[in-house]
Structure formats: C-alpha cells, structure tokens
Amino acid sequence: MSEPLLSIRDLRVGFTTQDGLVEAVRGVDLDLEAGETLAIVGESGSGKSTTAHAIIDLLPGSGKVIGGSIRFDGTELTSLGRRQMEEVRGRQIGMVPQDPMSNLDPVWNIGFQVEETVRANGQASNRRAARRRVIEVLKEAGLSDAEARLKQYPHQFSGGMRQRVLIGIGLSANPKLLIADEPTSALDVTVQKRILDHLETLTSERNTAVILITHDLGLAAERASKVLVMYRGRVVESGPAREILESPRHPYTQRLVAAAPSIASRRIQSLAHRADDSEAGVEREAAEAAVDLLSVADRVTAPAATGEVAISFREVTKRYSIRRGVGVGSTPFTAVDAVSFDVRKGTTTALVGESGSGKSTLAKLLLRLEEKSSGSILVGGREISTLNRSQLFRLRATMQPVFQDPYGSLDPLRNIGNTIAEPLMVHRFGNAEARRRRVLEILDQVALPQLVLTRYPNELSGGQRQRVAIARALALKPEIVVLDEAVSALDVLVQAQILTLLADLQAELGLTYLFITHDLAVVRVIADDVCVMRNGRIVEHATTGEVFDNPQTEYTRDLLDAIPGAGVAPAL
C-alpha cells in the first residue's frame, strides 16, 4: 500500500489570546491520495480553514502548530524552515482562497500578480517566457480575452473572473495538491456552479489532489469522493462522501444532514413525487436538539391562508440616475422594471435572484425606504405612496423588516431590552409596565432567555442577534414581515433553527412573509410562492412546487441546477 500524498496525524493548532492558549484544532487525522478530492465540512469555528492553512504554515495572527505531524509527499512539513516552505508553496501545494475581492492586491494589475507567481515558482526564466505563461494560465482558467486583461486591475473584474484568476494562480505551477478554501461562497449562485465545474475539469486533467473546504454538506458530497466532518476542532466523522450523506452515524453529522437546505430540498422534491404521502413524515433518529428541515417544510405547506391579498405590486418601476464623467451627464439605471405580483395573506412568497436582480430594491420600495418611480404598491388594498405622514407612520407598524447581517442590524450602543422596546416607545404603546410585559412576551416567542435583556449585541452570537432582530420586528404585532436574506449569513444548524422559528411564528401569528434570498434550496423549504427576478424583472412566478417541478425559463433551470448536490441521490 503506497503512502498517501498527504497524511496528517493528531494535528493541533493553537492561538494565543488574552485568556491564554486556545486550541482551534485538537487532534485531526487525515489521509489524502494523489488525485483524490477530499472535502472538509464544518460550521464556523470548526477549525476546517485553520487545518488547511496549517498545512502550508499560513496561520493568521498568533496561530501556531503546537503538535502533530503533516507528511506531504514524503516530507514532514512541520519541520521545514521558512525558505523550504516557500519552495513548497505554489510549486507543490497551491491555494485558492475564499473571497476573490480581498485576495488580490488592489494596486497591481492582474498580469503583474500572475507573473510574479510564475517567476517565483520557476515556471519561466525571462520576461517573454513569463508573459506567455501568464496568458496561458489565464486562458486555461477560462478568461478568453486574457491578453487584453493583463493590464487591468482587480476591481475592474467581476467576482467570477477574479476567482478564475485566483484558480489560475493556484494551479499555475501544476502543484500536486490544491487547497480550495470555500472557493465559491462569495459568488453568485449560477457563477458558483460554473467555476466549480471548471475547477473540477482542471484538477482531474492534471490529477491534482484537492482539499475542498466548505460549510455545505451537499456541495461536499457532490464534488468530493471523501468527506471529513469537523466540529469544534475535532473530526467527528469521515469516510466516502456518499456514505456520509446517506447514512451519517455521528449525531453531529446527522444534524448537519437534517439541516442542510440543499439536501432537504432534494429530499422534499423526491418525497413530493411519492404516491404514498404518509411517508412524508419520515422518522429521523436525530438528537433532541436537531432540527429537521423536512418538518419545517411540512408546517409551511399548510398555511393559514385565507386567499386574501396582503401585498400587491403593479407595474412597479424604480429608476436611478448614475452620475457619469465630469458630472454633467448621467445614465439612467433601472433597478426594478415593471414588477407585478401578489402576496397572499398568511403565506410566504420568496423573491429569488442573484446580486443586481433588484430584489432588495423592491423590498425597500415596499417598506417605503425609497420612493418608486412609477407603478403602484398596495398593502391591505391601500396605495402606500399617497399616504400622509401619520398614515404612513401607522402603516409602518404593520410592516417590519429583518435584515441579513446580524452584526449590523442592532444598534451596538443599546442593550437588547431597549432595542426590542424601541418600536413600542416610538408608537407610544402603553406605559412602561405594559411595554415590559410585551417585551418579555416576545422574548418568549423567539425562545430567548430573559437574561438577554440587559446584554448588548456584541455579547450575542449571530443566530441570537437574528432572533433579537425578529423580536424587534414582531414587537408591534405586524401583519407583514420582510425578510431580506435573513438567514443567509448564518451557520447551517443555526439557519435551520431560525427557519423553524419563522415557520412556527407564521403559523402562530398568521404572518405574511416576503422572503428575499438567493438560495433556492431554502426557498423549497420555506416558501409557498416563488418569484424569480433577474435584472429588475420577474422572469418566473408560480407556487414553489411548480417552479421546482416545471421551471419555465432557462434562468430558473440554471438556478435549480446550481443547488449543490445535484449528482447525489437523496437520502431517504
């Protein structure tokens, strides 16, 4: 049995903090064969990125390998000196980082940044040879007009193009191993699939071993042959991808499988086709705290709908003028283009689109945070743009938002109690005592303990802050809640918890949700109706089942294909 290309034994990585040494990676074992693709899956804080960066000794800040061994191609990496490690990086082990914008130096052009890699890794000895190699690398990475692009700067490229450049750089010296750290999570959904496909082609052509780091179990199973699941610095389960997905044995892995939207959406799809509907309530041996997105979907598909229309968009258009040049001329930009659809009371309508689709703008128009250029928006039958100040004020109490970024949606200088009570104060709800009772009531509804009242946002986690944001939105008992990517920034398990909470609240309080997201998989779980937006227009509008079964436009089909896990048979 030949030695694996990469062999990690009992790896320990620690960071020095104010409170002493904190171990981020606590004894990880890993084997990777040449040409094999291994995925490391975990939530934030699991140590997956840290493990990968430890391999090439690029730990941030005070991080250090404090124990264990990393054997690569016969060499013990942890004992290498600085110069030797420099040799290994790039030439033997390449890396594709996560965020394409922040990983390219903004002050040098692309040609320069690729060329320095080529020269450093001994791929060319003189300028001309280097230039030729640079063009070659960029072409292989999928940039067709490579020569023209050499003198351009990173900010002039789109996200996908930048990532291609980074992939090109990572693979330029034909390394034996490529570490891909969430290479597509910062990109639009349809772009993600293309990039990952391309990456797969390149690495299989060259027989490059790949370590793929991701938080998405579905993606891991689709792209890798082996999966390693990490939790709090340890490996909790590892093995062949398919096996892990179909029969997860460790409770944590089981939770992940139950909570992953991409997997859930496939399961729901397949279940929906089964003749015998009683099987829809499939038993899962999940641990007590596990959340099963299937059951969430169940709750959602029985809406407290009365058929009444809560929100109505008619030919809504929003135009901006972008100043160009020396400030004399300006080009009009249509963010929202003649959008029309209805949202039924008590249901969830998902507004799906990639960046630039206009979905967030539409939400702002509904909340009257911006003024529409033309068309009409009716809430409860009334046109909202003709309201006077006091009418608008009262309308606001019936429509509240929850935003994406849990770290920016709460005022850092107010404690939680005041944050939730603020809408009550603004709308002069009762006296102090009545407000206090209401706040406690809502806290209970969002399952947060009372001790949170005197705390500040920086003391809570992302999921907890989102709950506070939801609590604040519910304070005035609104009818409509606009959720703008409200779960997109959360870890998988937390995300599942919040989705469950939202579904419960909707059933309990008869809320109408406008759910904005780019993730179609989540849509399958939570929405009744779907509107797909692209470049400001609605390209498809139907019930969730219809959109998934029978997508009418190619764009929708692309979005569906992009849900990771397409090639993996759903677990039943």
Partner 1 sequence: MSDNTPSASAGAPSRSTGTGHFVAEEEAELGAVDSIRAQGKPSNLWRDAWRDMRTRPMFYISAVLILLVVVAALLPGLFTHESPTACVLSLSNQGPSAGHPLGFTRQGCDVFSRIVHGASTSLSVGLIVLLLTTVLGIVFGAIAGFYGGWVDSVLSRAGDIFFSIPYILAAVVIMSVLSAHRNVFVIALAIGLFSWPSTARILRAQILRVKESDFVTASTAMGISRFGVLLRHVLPNSITPVIVSTTISLAAAITAEATLSYLGVGLPPTFMSWGNDISAAQVNVRTAPMPLIYPSIALSVTVLAFIMMGEVIREALDPRARASR
Partner 2 sequence: MTGYILRRILQVIPVFIGTTLLIYFMVFVLPGDPVLALFGDKTPNPAQLARLREQYALDQPFIVQYLHYLGGIFTGNLGTSFSGQPVSRILLQTFPVTLRLALLAIIIEMVAGILVGLVSGLRKGGVFDASALVVSLILISLPIFVIALTSQFVFGVQLGWARTTVGPGAPIQDLILPAFVLASINFAVVVRLTRSSVIETSGEDYVRTAYAKGLGRRRVIPVHILRNSLIPAVTSLGADFGILIVGATVTEGVFNVPGVGRTLYQAIIKGESTTVVSFVTVMTLVYLVVNLLVDLLYAALDPRIRYVR
Provide the minimum distance between the beta carbon of 409 and partner 1 in the complex, in angstroms, as a whole number: 4
Contact 353, 333 (CB under 8 A): no
Provide the minimum distance between the beta carbon of 103 and partner 2 in the complex, in angstroms, as a whole number: 4
Question: What residues between 41 and 70 interact with partner 2 by CB under 8 A?
Answer: 56, 58, 60-61
**Which one of residues 386, 431, 458, 550 is an interface residue with partner 1 (CB under 8 A)?**
458
Nearer to partner 2, 84 or 553 (CB): 84
Nearer to partner 1, 169 or 235 (CB): 235
**Which one of residues 1, 20, 107, 567 is an interface residue with partner 2 (CB under 8 A)?**
107
CA distance 485 to 499: 12
Provide the minimum distance between the beta carbon of 16 and partner 2 in the complex, in angstroms, as a whole number: 12
CA distance 82 to 89: 11
Q: Could you tell which of partner 1, partner 2, none binds residue 469, using a CB distance below 5 to 8 A set by kind?
A: partner 1
By CB under 8 A, is residue 161 in contact with partner 2? no
**Which one of residues 48, 89, 149, 266 is an interface residue with partner 2 (CB under 8 A)?**
89
Backbone angles phi, psi at 366, to 5 degrees: -60, -45
Q: DSSP letter at 464? A: H
Question: What residues between 325 and 364 interact with partner 2 by CB under 8 A?
Answer: 325-327
Question: What residues between 356 and 415 interact with partner 1 by CB under 8 A?
Answer: 367, 369, 392-393, 396-397, 399-401, 403-405, 408-413, 415
By CB under 8 A, is residue 148 in contact with partner 2? no
Nearest-CA neighbor of 506 among 319, 334, 298, 361? 298
For residue 383, how many C-alpha atoms fall within 13 Å in the half-sphere facing its CB?
9
Q: Could you tell which of partner 1, partner 2, none binds residue 140, using a CB distance below 5 to 8 A set by kind?
A: none
Provide the minimum distance between the beta carbon of 422 and partner 1 in the complex, in angstroms, as a whole number: 7
- The strands making up 309-323's β-sheet, listed across from edge to edge, are 330-344, 309-323, 374-379, 382-383
Provide the minimum distance between the beta carbon of 455 and partner 1 in the complex, in angstroms, as a whole number: 5
| 312 three-class SS | strand
How many residues are recorded in the chain? 572
**Which one of residues 104, 177, 481, 538 is an interface residue with partner 2 (CB under 8 A)?**
104
Residue type, 443: L
Extract the tokens encoding 367.
């909340």
Q: Which of 15-23, 84-92, 184-192, 454-462 is the region at the interface with partner 2 (rule: CB under 8 A)?
A: 84-92
By CB under 8 A, is residue 251 in contact with partner 1? yes
Question: What residues between 182 and 241 interact with partner 1 by CB under 8 A?
Answer: 226, 231-232, 234-240
Extract the tokens encoding 448.
């947060």
Alpha helices in 527-568 (DSSP H): 544-549, 554-561
| 300 three-class SS | helix
Residue type, 442: I
CA distance 70 to 7: 6
Tokens 């490059």, located at residue: 208
| 133 three-class SS | helix
Return residues touching partner 2 (CB under 8 A): 56, 58, 60-61, 82-83, 86-87, 89-91, 94-95, 97, 99, 102-109, 116-117, 120-121, 153, 155-156, 166, 169-170, 173, 322-327
